Amino acid sequence: MDVILFLVFAIIAVVCAINVVVQTHPISSAISLVGVMGSLAVLYLLLGAEFIAAAQVIVYAGAIMVLFVFVIMLLNAGAEVHKGRSLMARFLGLPALVMLLGLLAYFVQRLFPRGDMVHFGGFTGGSPKDIGMALFTTYLLPFEATSILILIAIVGAIVLARKEMD
Protein backbone atom coordinates (compact mmCIF):
# COMPACT_ATOMS: atom_id res chain seq x y z
CA MET A 1 0.00 0.00 0.00
CA ASP A 2 2.70 2.46 0.97
CA VAL A 3 4.80 1.52 -2.02
CA ILE A 4 1.99 2.24 -4.43
CA LEU A 5 1.29 5.52 -2.71
CA PHE A 6 4.90 6.45 -2.92
CA LEU A 7 5.31 5.46 -6.55
CA VAL A 8 2.25 7.26 -7.71
CA PHE A 9 3.04 10.51 -6.06
CA ALA A 10 6.72 10.28 -6.78
CA ILE A 11 6.00 9.92 -10.46
CA ILE A 12 3.58 12.82 -10.33
CA ALA A 13 6.23 14.92 -8.63
CA VAL A 14 8.89 14.08 -11.18
CA VAL A 15 6.64 14.68 -14.13
CA CYS A 16 5.50 18.00 -12.76
CA ALA A 17 9.11 18.95 -12.05
CA ILE A 18 10.11 18.18 -15.59
CA ASN A 19 7.19 20.21 -16.70
CA VAL A 20 8.36 23.15 -14.63
CA VAL A 21 11.69 23.08 -16.37
CA VAL A 22 10.46 22.43 -19.84
CA GLN A 23 7.44 24.66 -20.27
CA THR A 24 7.89 27.95 -22.05
CA HIS A 25 5.12 29.93 -20.46
CA PRO A 26 5.78 30.75 -16.82
CA ILE A 27 2.22 30.22 -15.77
CA SER A 28 2.35 26.61 -16.86
CA SER A 29 5.56 26.21 -14.86
CA ALA A 30 3.85 27.71 -11.85
CA ILE A 31 0.92 25.33 -12.00
CA SER A 32 3.24 22.39 -12.39
CA LEU A 33 5.17 23.54 -9.38
CA VAL A 34 1.97 23.51 -7.38
CA GLY A 35 1.54 19.94 -8.45
CA VAL A 36 5.04 19.10 -7.24
CA MET A 37 4.33 20.63 -3.90
CA GLY A 38 1.10 18.80 -3.50
CA SER A 39 2.68 15.43 -4.18
CA LEU A 40 5.48 16.21 -1.83
CA ALA A 41 2.92 16.95 0.85
CA VAL A 42 1.56 13.45 0.47
CA LEU A 43 5.04 12.03 0.71
CA TYR A 44 5.55 13.98 3.90
CA LEU A 45 2.47 12.38 5.34
CA LEU A 46 3.95 9.03 4.44
CA LEU A 47 7.03 9.98 6.43
CA GLY A 48 4.98 10.93 9.46
CA ALA A 49 5.47 14.64 9.10
CA GLU A 50 1.93 15.87 9.51
CA PHE A 51 2.74 19.37 10.47
CA ILE A 52 5.21 19.79 7.67
CA ALA A 53 2.75 18.43 5.17
CA ALA A 54 0.14 20.88 6.30
CA ALA A 55 2.62 23.71 6.30
CA GLN A 56 3.73 22.74 2.83
CA VAL A 57 0.25 22.97 1.46
CA ILE A 58 -0.72 26.11 3.32
CA VAL A 59 2.48 28.11 3.05
CA TYR A 60 4.17 26.85 -0.06
CA ALA A 61 1.39 25.87 -2.35
CA GLY A 62 -1.15 28.23 -0.87
CA ALA A 63 0.83 31.40 -0.34
CA ILE A 64 4.11 31.37 -2.19
CA MET A 65 2.83 29.95 -5.39
CA VAL A 66 -0.12 32.28 -5.32
CA LEU A 67 2.38 35.10 -5.00
CA PHE A 68 4.22 33.74 -8.00
CA VAL A 69 1.05 33.59 -10.04
CA PHE A 70 0.15 37.13 -9.06
CA VAL A 71 3.54 38.40 -10.12
CA ILE A 72 3.35 36.56 -13.42
CA MET A 73 0.02 38.13 -14.08
CA LEU A 74 1.27 41.54 -12.96
CA LEU A 75 4.24 41.43 -15.25
CA ASN A 76 2.24 40.03 -18.09
CA ALA A 77 5.02 37.57 -18.66
CA GLY A 78 4.77 35.91 -21.97
CA ALA A 79 6.27 32.80 -23.35
CA GLU A 80 10.03 32.82 -23.50
CA VAL A 81 11.79 33.70 -26.68
CA HIS A 82 14.69 31.53 -27.70
CA LYS A 83 17.76 33.67 -27.58
CA GLY A 84 20.59 31.67 -26.12
CA ARG A 85 23.56 33.70 -25.03
CA SER A 86 25.33 31.83 -22.33
CA LEU A 87 27.82 29.51 -23.94
CA MET A 88 28.98 28.49 -20.54
CA ALA A 89 25.55 27.25 -19.52
CA ARG A 90 25.01 25.44 -22.79
CA PHE A 91 28.23 23.53 -22.94
CA LEU A 92 29.11 22.91 -19.36
CA GLY A 93 25.67 22.91 -17.82
CA LEU A 94 24.49 19.55 -18.99
CA PRO A 95 27.59 17.62 -18.06
CA ALA A 96 27.66 19.38 -14.69
CA LEU A 97 24.07 18.45 -14.14
CA VAL A 98 24.57 14.87 -15.01
CA MET A 99 27.61 14.78 -12.76
CA LEU A 100 25.61 16.24 -9.92
CA LEU A 101 22.86 13.73 -10.34
CA GLY A 102 25.24 10.88 -10.57
CA LEU A 103 27.10 12.00 -7.49
CA LEU A 104 24.01 12.38 -5.44
CA ALA A 105 22.64 8.98 -6.46
CA TYR A 106 25.97 7.39 -5.78
CA PHE A 107 26.16 8.80 -2.30
CA VAL A 108 22.64 7.82 -1.56
CA GLN A 109 23.36 4.27 -2.54
CA ARG A 110 26.62 4.20 -0.63
CA LEU A 111 25.27 5.61 2.55
CA PHE A 112 22.04 3.74 2.68
CA PRO A 113 22.49 0.38 1.00
CA ARG A 114 20.12 -1.44 3.27
CA GLY A 115 18.48 1.33 5.18
CA ASP A 116 15.25 1.48 7.01
CA MET A 117 11.94 0.99 5.44
CA VAL A 118 9.40 3.67 5.49
CA HIS A 119 5.77 2.88 6.25
CA PHE A 120 2.85 4.81 7.49
CA GLY A 121 3.03 5.34 11.21
CA GLY A 122 6.66 4.47 11.42
CA PHE A 123 7.43 7.82 12.93
CA THR A 124 4.99 9.48 15.25
CA GLY A 125 7.03 12.38 16.41
CA GLY A 126 5.95 14.79 13.73
CA SER A 127 2.77 16.04 15.31
CA PRO A 128 2.26 19.71 15.92
CA LYS A 129 2.72 19.12 19.61
CA ASP A 130 6.21 17.71 19.09
CA ILE A 131 7.10 20.44 16.65
CA GLY A 132 5.93 23.05 19.09
CA MET A 133 7.89 21.55 21.93
CA ALA A 134 11.11 21.56 19.92
CA LEU A 135 10.44 24.94 18.35
CA PHE A 136 10.09 26.78 21.61
CA THR A 137 12.83 25.05 23.52
CA THR A 138 15.77 23.87 21.44
CA TYR A 139 15.14 26.05 18.42
CA LEU A 140 13.99 29.19 20.16
CA LEU A 141 16.85 31.34 18.87
CA PRO A 142 16.41 30.38 15.21
CA PHE A 143 12.70 30.96 15.67
CA GLU A 144 13.24 34.47 16.88
CA ALA A 145 15.80 35.08 14.17
CA THR A 146 13.42 33.94 11.47
CA SER A 147 10.71 36.20 12.80
CA ILE A 148 13.08 39.11 12.37
CA LEU A 149 13.91 37.79 8.94
CA ILE A 150 10.27 37.86 7.98
CA LEU A 151 10.00 41.38 9.26
CA ILE A 152 12.95 42.39 7.13
CA ALA A 153 11.46 40.64 4.14
CA ILE A 154 8.17 42.46 4.58
CA VAL A 155 9.81 45.82 4.86
CA GLY A 156 12.11 45.06 1.95
CA ALA A 157 9.33 43.90 -0.28
CA ILE A 158 7.23 46.94 0.47
CA VAL A 159 10.10 49.33 -0.14
CA LEU A 160 11.16 47.68 -3.34
CA ALA A 161 7.81 47.31 -4.93
CA ARG A 162 6.02 50.51 -4.09
CA LYS A 163 5.21 53.17 -6.55
CA GLU A 164 7.35 56.29 -6.59
CA MET A 165 5.78 59.11 -4.65
CA ASP A 166 5.71 61.98 -7.06
Partner 1 sequence: MQLWLIPILPLLGFLINGLFGRRFSKGLVSAVAIGSVALSFAWALRAILSLDLDHAHVEHYFTWIQSGAFRVNCDFSVDRLTAVMLMVVTGVGLLIHVYSIGYMAHEGGYYRFFAYLNLFMFFMLTLVLAANYLVLFVGWEGVGLCSYLLIGFYFDKKLATDAGNKAFIVNRIGDFGFSLAMFYIVKNFGSLDFATVFGSAASKPEGMLTIIGLLLMVGACGKSAQLPLYVWLPDAMAGPTPVSALIHAATMVTAGVYMTARSFPIYIHAPAAMETIAIIGIATAFFAATIGLAQNDIKKVFAYSTVSQLGYMFVGVGCGAFSAGIYHLMTHAFFKALLFLGSGSVIHALAGEQDLRNMGGLRRKIPWTFLTMMCAAVAIAGVPPFAGFFSKDAILLAAHRQAPWIYWVGTITAGMTAFYVFRAMFLAFFGKYRGDAHPHESPPVMLVPLVVLALLSIAGGFLFKIPAFLGTVFPSRSVDEDLTLMAISTAAGFLGIFLAWLMYVARPGMADALAGGVKGLYTLVYNKYYVDEVYDAAVVKPLVGGSRAVLWKGVDAGLIDGAVNGVGGRAQRIGGVLRLLQSGNIRSYATWIVLGSVVAIVALVEGAR
Partner 2 sequence: MGAVPISWFLTLSAVLFSLGVAGFLFRRGIITVFMSIELMLNAVNLSFVTFSYQLKKVDGHLLAFFVMVVAAAEAAVGLAIILTVFKNRKTLNIDDVDSMKN
Q: Is 97 exposed, middle or buried (0-12, 13-18, 19+ CB in 10 A)?
A: exposed
- Enter the DSSP assignment of 48: T
Which one, 106 or 139, has the nearer CB to partner 1?
106
Which one, 85 or 163, has the nearer CB to partner 1?
85
Could you tell me the smallest distance in angstroms from the CB atom of residue 120 to partner 1?
Answer: 33
Per CB under 8 A, does 150 bind partner 1?
A: no
Binding to partner 2, residues 4-43 (CB under 8 A): 6, 10, 13-14, 17-18, 20-21, 23, 26, 29-30, 33, 36-37, 40, 43
User: DSSP string covering 49-106, please?
Assistant: -HHHHHHIIIIIIIIIHHHHHHHHHHHT--PPP-----HHHHHHHHHHHHHHHHHHHH
Binding to partner 2, residues 96-125 (CB under 8 A): 96-97, 100-101, 104-105, 108-109, 112-113, 115-119, 122-123, 125
- Enter the DSSP assignment of 39: H
Measure the CA–CA gap between 132 and 63, rounded to whole angstroms: 22
Per CB under 8 A, does 108 bind partner 1?
A: no
Binding to partner 1, residues 65-104 (CB under 8 A): 85-89, 92-93, 96-97, 99-100, 103
